[in-house]
Structure 1
Amino acid sequence: MAAKEHLQEQIRQLPHRPGVYKYFDDEGIIYVGKAIDLRKRVSSYFTKQDHNKKTQQLVKNIKRIEFTIVDSESDAFLLENNLIKQHQPKYNILLKDGKTYPYLLLTNERFPRLIPTRNKRPGDGRYYGPYANLTAMNVLLEMIRMLYPLRTCTYNLSPENVAAGKFKVCLEYHLGNCKGPCEAKEDEETYQQYIHQIRQILNGDLRLPKQYFREKMTQAAQEMQYEQAHQFKLKLDRLDDFQAKSTIVNASLSNIDVFSIASNEKLAFINYLKVMNGSIILTQSVEVQKKLDEPDDEILAPMIMQMREEFESQSKEILTNVPVPDLPLPGVAIAQPQIGDKRKLLELSIKNVLYLRKEKESMTDRSKDLNEVRIMETAKKDLRLKELPKHIECFDNSNFQGDNPVAAMVCFRNAKPSKKDYRHFHIKTVVGPNDFDSMYEIVTRRYRRLLDEGASLPQLIVVDGGKGQLGMGVKALKDLGIWGQIPIIGIAKRLEEIYVPNDPLPLYIDKKSETLRLIQRMRDEAHRFGITFHRSRRDAATLKTELTDVKGLGPITADKLLTKYKSVKKIKELSEADLTAEIGKAKARVLLDYFSQEATPE
């Protein structure tokens, strides 16, 4: 209580200013958030009553609050983003780090090379990417190498080294993939023309390279160098083919980032499209684990910042499918278009993200189904069953001795609880505590009813108990004429042993087996279900006994009051007028006098 009072005092001291707040438990930071008004935002965690369970758990764990005041919401956003990356609090969504994405490096050497790399080192040259799709990057690299005769060697091709004849051309020269700058067979000016065009391609602009090859093709044709013209034609066709594989949106749309988000209870899915000169040159989809059931805009905003940084975007326009708070991106316009080509582009991104969500949920469902099938197949093998135990029923009455004897049956379908099929039983034919006869009664009643109704029978019956209870279950099936139609086993509590009919020795099942875990889970569920029922009956009987013990108050009156008010406590809270209206003046006076004497200390 003192800790909560301390937190309330901290909250009262918070300013009505923008800033970032940090929640701590005994071990460190557990949540970082931003706010336009620190006091209002933080106090809402402790005053609102409609928080989800995750947020309620967060609030329970808060032991201390720290805050930092900033000048604006944008500053708060940046600080929050940096603190989350630094501390990775367990209740915040964790932003992905893109350092492992591959890049294409155009080196700053005299005759630059184009090489793939995952490590960025300042000073090595110009990096392009990162590329979300490794295959797409390799296709681009292969196309550039087919278009331009770039060197791949690591020689230091300084003018002095080349003039001194330190190097010899390699196989790449003889294959026509390199023009031999190492022996001064390629002049630097021509090579730099290649590099300039390669830069245009890597930036998503194919206009200059296409113009270059078109002019070369025309010139060669005019000079009647038809074979060379044909080679330039092939290179031009290759560029056209590459561009055709990119999604052409609209040539008037240039340098736009498109983000869309879709989520479910546990995950958020985000799609990013990068558009340059009317073509989508990059697409990336990610999933983010939700920690506090955050709304989509709160998840998307930091991911926009993160992905623009990872993919080095300089676009001045962002399209999103949900409004996001003001981002610290000066000069960048953020919109949610409703019509036109930009809307079509956004819908393409939305289609991608919805497909990703559907695929993930489908994979999860398939994984669950496969898991259930595997458990049932394991049970079939371990228990030597003839068919897959898709429907199993488990009985328990061993702990309901004495007054109010009851029993319970739980049903599992496809290795999962089917609670609508659970059943309680009042023991009717057995006098006194007798687990064996009680087991016979409930198994008989259960399957006589299923037979009368023409309902399907389970593929396996489990009874909670050893050879004695199992024997009575077998007797019940024999008396019903269905012995041999349903396999039945017993599980003994002491050593968790599995017994089968007509075998004095227990069946050995590995203690770590999924079969044993399934049977134990069913036994424990039946026990829980039965105990709950037993307690409710016992409590009801206790209440009824307490009221019927009052002289002058009969069982009919007690039943009437308990049916309506459910507990003696609520009956005690009634006024004399209310009681009189329910049971009459005389009985009301008797009951009030009884309650008064009960409350008077001796």
Structure 2
Amino acid sequence: MEQQPIQISFVGTFDLQDKLDHLPVSPGVYQFKNREGTILYVGKAVNLRNRVRQYFHSSRSHEPRIAAMVAKISDLEIITTDSEVEALILEANLIKLHKPRYNVNLKDDKSYPYIVITKEPYPRVFVTRRFNRKEVHLFGPYTDVVTLRAALKTVRDLFMIRSCNFFIDDEFIAKKRTRVCLDYHIKKCEGPCEGLVSQERYNDMIGQVAQVLNGRIAGVRSHLEGQMREAAGAMRFEDAAYYRDRIRELEVYSARQKVVDNEFRDRDIVAVATEDDDACGVIFKIREGKVIGRQHYYMNGVESRTDPEVLETLVQRYYLEAVDVPKEVVLSFDIESRTVIEQWLSLRRSGGVSFRMPEGGDLSTLLDMCKRNAKFLLDELKLQKLKQKDFVPAAVRSLQRDLRLPKAPRRIECFDISHFQGTETVASMVVFEDGKPKKSEYRKFKIRSVAPAEVDDFASMREVVTRRYTRVQQEALEMPDLIMIDGGKGQLSSAVEALAAIGITGHPVISLAKRLEEVFVPGDAEPVPIPKSSAALRLLQQVRDEAHRFAVTFHRSLRDKRTLQTELDLIAGVGKKRSKELLEAFGSVQGVKFATIEQLTEVVGEKTAQKIQEYFQLDDPASEPS
């Protein structure tokens, strides 16, 4: 039975130094976290103790990126593994899951599409991003949708495979649950739904589909030629003509693929190009000496990383998802974890896998072509980013004009206060960039400066603005182009006072009053004349409404939590500690209400259990005498 990685949890009063003192010497994965519990970095090690402690030696030896990360580390979590190969796989999976800030991450790291062949009596062939590996054969992933569509069109043109979504077996055919569709009549399908093709013949065809998708063209051509000769010998000339046409289509498809390897080997060519904080990795898939596909991945967070480090990240992530692993992988650089990755891929392939770094010959020519592709795609990305940077939505430009701002308000931070008669006062901050919400940067605040049951929106606004922009100053974060307040002139004045108190003056600040949808700016008694139908006002309303929604949702969650606990607190003998124990044991107040006396006794003792039951019986109208 396969042994699972062991997660080490430090409990009690362990601080970071205690954890560093108790690190094991085994292989595994480590995760650095900040004070909020966010994962900053995931790494692997042969010896966890030695590797992790290196980060906490004198920071003078660290490059700026590592030094900045170490300064933010407040917690550490490790997972031990049986081998370095297990650590490698786990590291790649955790990076994909959490996308830590200080790791190299793939841009647009979504699930890429695959072509799948189902494991059914009459298999289906289709494209999907979601699948159960036990139920399908996979081909991909495809990062280029054009290549994906071309591959699928080719196999549909070559072979008469069904396009319907039925699960077809002998029972389905016997019960005649459907009739052949148009595909059968135009000779695009052999009609398995009515049993017009044997399961053996259909699956033989599916086997050829799999070979074509894997780039094994020669075997398919040989098979079709044999069937053509057999049909001609038996004077089944129509069948022979069918196989002849398939062979011609296969030759046309094969002719489109460039022969790049006269040794006709299967290999992948992998190269990267880097610039500033961005990188592009390209993989050429060569099967039987021909390029059958090109995959490319964009990465960020590569600044101050060496090209071999970026290449190693690409290799790990690509082969974590890739289905087809060749015997040979050609790399543009040698990589640190080469031996471990070779072992991992050999296990996946059930056969040897080796990495090569050519210094001349045909392989070097192929590698140069791969590098040029990576550089070209990276240049395209840079150009696209420049265009996006220069593009400002019309509503944002309109807002700049109407408010007479020095520059377009591409980033807006908006604040709102929420409470109910002074209880559970909270604040929200939402962020809009280029007219769209950026929810990953939303923030919520519990107000501390206002006493319970006291209503003081002005003091609450002063507090939240002070807290937000004090932190911006301390962490050298970028100020928004526009600060927006949900409220009238009073809330606006409070925000401006708070900013001035921490040394921020003259920064664009506005408020949007709900009743008449009036926009106020500091120093003007009258609202800014913005047309009610303008795109600028609609944008401000959208930002304000989102801040209000976020604040109300947070306030409601706190109020509901307090309400639940208060009902238990009303029972004599049930304090905060026992209330918490009861909620943990029964899930909710309703769970406590319907628990038996025996169940309650196990948690809080017999005496308190009786008081709880008596309380809920008195509270239940159904228990009162009629």
Q: TM tier, shorter chain?
A: 0.5 to 0.7
8 Å CA contact 1:249, 1:345 repeated in 2: yes
Structure 1 match to 2:100:
89
Cα distance in 2, alignment partners of residues 217 and 108 from structure 1: 28
Q: Cα offset for 1:283? A: 1.9
Are 1:239 and 2:260 counterparts? no
Which of 369, 374, 377 matches 1:353?
374
Q: Cα offset for 1:337? A: 1.2
Cα distance in 1, alignment partners of residues 159 and 195 from structure 2: 17
Q: Cα offset for 1:184? A: 4.2
| Equivalent residue runs for 1:454-493 within 5 Å | none
Which of 178, 187, 204 matches 2:189?
178
Structure 2 match to 1:33:
43
Are 1:60 and 2:71 counterparts? yes
Q: What are the superposed Cα offsets for residues 276-318 of structure 1, whole Å, 9 maximum, x if unpaired?
A: 2112223211112207733333333243222113121332322
Cα distance in 2, alignment partners of residues 24 and 194 from structure 1: 52
Cα distance in 2, alignment partners of residues 71 and 113 from structure 1: 39
8 Å CA contact 2:92, 2:320 repeated in 1: no
Are 1:284 and 2:333 counterparts? no
User: 5+ unaligned residues in a row in structure 1: which ranges?
Assistant: 1-5, 384-388, 390-490, 499-504, 514-602
SS of corresponding position for 1:211: helix
Q: Cα offset for 1:97? A: 8.9
Q: Cα offset for 1:205? A: 0.7
Task: Using the aligned pairs only, state the percent identity.
Answer: 28
After TM superposition, the structure 1 stretch with the greater mean CA deviation from structure 2, 38-47 or 22-31, is 38-47
| Equivalent residue runs for 1:68-147 within 5 Å | 73-94=84-105, 100-147=111-158
Which of 12, 32, 41 matches 1:23?
32
TM-score between both structures, scaled by the size of structure 1: 0.55
| Equivalent residue runs for 1:379-418 within 5 Å | none
> Structure 2 vs 1, CA of residues 55 and 211 (structure 1 numbering), >3 Å: closer, same or farther?
same
> Structure 2 vs 1, CA of residues 121 and 382 (structure 1 numbering), >3 Å: closer, same or farther?
closer
Cα distance in 2, alignment partners of residues 67 and 164 from structure 1: 57
Q: Cα offset for 1:320? A: 1.4
Are 1:203 and 2:214 counterparts? yes
Cα distance in 1, alignment partners of residues 315 and 148 from structure 2: 22
Structure 1 match to 2:317:
306
| Equivalent residue runs for 1:254-269 within 5 Å | 254-269=265-280
Are 1:293 and 2:314 counterparts? no
8 Å CA contact 2:183, 2:189 repeated in 1: yes
Cα distance in 2, alignment partners of residues 333 and 125 from structure 1: 28
Q: What are the superposed Cα offsets for residues 551-599 of structure 1, whole Å, 9 maximum, x if unpaired?
A: xxxxxxxxxxxxxxxxxxxxxxxxxxxxxxxxxxxxxxxxxxxxxxxxx
Q: Cα offset for 1:159? A: 4.1
Structure number with greater Rg is 1
> Structure 2 vs 1, CA of residues 39 and 155 (structure 1 numbering), >3 Å: closer, same or farther?
closer
Cα distance in 1, alignment partners of residues 390 and 226 from structure 2: 61
Cα distance in 2, alignment partners of residues 246 and 210 from structure 1: 15
Q: Cα offset for 1:235? A: 2.5
Structure 2 match to 1:435:
none
Matched AA of 1:57: A
User: 5+ unaligned residues in a row in structure 2: which ranges?
Assistant: 1-14, 344-351, 408-506, 511-519, 537-626
Are 1:340 and 2:340 counterparts? no
> Structure 2 vs 1, CA of residues 171 and 382 (structure 1 numbering), >3 Å: closer, same or farther?
same
Cα distance in 1, alignment partners of residues 354 and 165 from structure 2: 44
8 Å CA contact 2:270, 2:331 repeated in 1: yes
SS of corresponding position for 1:149: coil
8 Å CA contact 2:402, 2:530 repeated in 1: no
Matched AA of 1:191: Y
Q: Cα offset for 1:363? A: 2.3
Q: Cα offset for 1:174? A: 2.2
SS of corresponding position for 2:281: strand
8 Å CA contact 2:342, 2:355 repeated in 1: no
Cα distance in 1, alignment partners of residues 399 and 266 from structure 2: 56
8 Å CA contact 2:116, 2:128 repeated in 1: yes
Cα distance in 2, alignment partners of residues 190 and 372 from structure 1: 58
TM-score between both structures, scaled by the size of structure 2: 0.53
Cα distance in 2, alignment partners of residues 382 and 71 from structure 1: 62
| Equivalent residue runs for 1:153-168 within 5 Å | 153-154=164-165, 157-159=168-170, 162=173, 167-168=178-179
8 Å CA contact 1:78, 1:328 repeated in 2: no
Q: What are the superposed Cα offsets for residues 180-219 of structure 1, whole Å, 9 maximum, x if unpaired?
A: 3444443444333322322221221111322244445566
> Structure 2 vs 1, CA of residues 382 and 194 (structure 1 numbering), >3 Å: closer, same or farther?
same
Structure 1 match to 2:598:
none
Two-structure CA RMSD over aligned residues (Å): 4.7
Aligned residues: 403
Q: Cα offset for 1:252? A: 2.3
> Structure 2 vs 1, CA of residues 357 and 95 (structure 1 numbering), >3 Å: closer, same or farther?
closer
8 Å CA contact 1:19, 1:67 repeated in 2: yes
Q: What are the superposed Cα offsets for residues 230-284 of structure 1, whole Å, 9 maximum, x if unpaired?
A: 6544432221221222232215243322221222221222112222211222321
Q: Cα offset for 1:342? A: 2.2
8 Å CA contact 1:20, 1:67 repeated in 2: yes
Matched AA of 1:299: V
Cα distance in 2, alignment partners of residues 135 and 32 from structure 1: 34
Are 1:272 and 2:283 counterparts? yes
| Equivalent residue runs for 1:323-334 within 5 Å | 323-326=334-337, 327-330=340-343, 331-334=352-355
Cα distance in 2, alignment partners of residues 76 and 155 from structure 1: 41
8 Å CA contact 2:159, 2:205 repeated in 1: yes
SS of corresponding position for 1:49: helix
Cα distance in 1, alignment partners of residues 299 and 393 from structure 2: 27
> Structure 2 vs 1, CA of residues 264 and 109 (structure 1 numbering), >3 Å: closer, same or farther?
same
After TM superposition, the structure 1 stretch with the greater mean CA deviation from structure 2, 41-50 or 309-318, is 41-50
Cα distance in 2, alignment partners of residues 174 and 120 from structure 1: 31
Cα distance in 2, alignment partners of residues 164 and 506 from structure 1: 75
Q: Cα offset for 1:496? A: 7.9
Matched AA of 1:362: L
Matched AA of 2:209: I
Cα distance in 2, alignment partners of residues 346 and 109 from structure 1: 40
Matched AA of 2:218: R
Structure 2 match to 1:483:
none
> Structure 2 vs 1, CA of residues 291 and 24 (structure 1 numbering), >3 Å: closer, same or farther?
farther
Matched AA of 1:240: E
